[in-house]
Amino acid sequence: MRTKTGLVAATFALSIASLAMQASADIYLRDGTQKVDVREEGGRLYCTRVSDNFEMCNGMTRNADGTWSGKKMKHPDMPGFMRFNGTVTFRENGLTIRGCALGICQSEDWAEG
């Protein structure tokens, strides 16, 4: 029984480590050219465009299913006062970022850069 418990604990620890690695500091490409630094700091997710330090994710929190969400997301092509409900989902070779406001949603796929 002790071996089974140890195996389950080790598998769980590796799963958690894998999820944490997905959100560590990485560069992703928005629109194929814009470099975005996506990183976890203090349990929150930040997505900062490298060229001008524009922050898009603004401290999203992790959900039980491994996605990240928040209500302060910004879009670099919209006025600075606008905020969106956003979600980030990590995929094998990138991520999908989705923002919604007033029932209108837009999503983008970013490749690892």
Long-range contacts of 98-104 (CB under 8 A, 24+ apart): 99/73, 99/75
- The 10s digit of each residue's pLDDT in 8-30 is 344 443 344 444 444 456 999 99
- The 10s digit of each residue's pLDDT in 88-106 is 999 999 999 999 998 899 9
Q: State whether the Cα torsion 10-11-13-17 is positive or negative.
A: positive
Average confidence (pLDDT) over 77-91? 94
pLDDT at residue 24, rounded to an integer: 56
Average confidence (pLDDT) over 41-46? 97
Average confidence (pLDDT) over 47-75? 97
Which range of residues forms the domain containing residue 72? 2-112
pLDDT at residue 20, rounded to an integer: 43
Q: In the chain, how many domains are there?
A: 1
DSSP state of 58: -
pLDDT at residue 19, rounded to an integer: 44
CA atoms within 13 A on the CB side of 47: 29
C-alpha span between 39 and 55 (Å, rounded) = 11
With CA atoms as reference, report the closest residue to 62 among 40, 91, 83, 37. 40
Residues 82, 74: contact at Cβ < 8 Å? Answer: yes
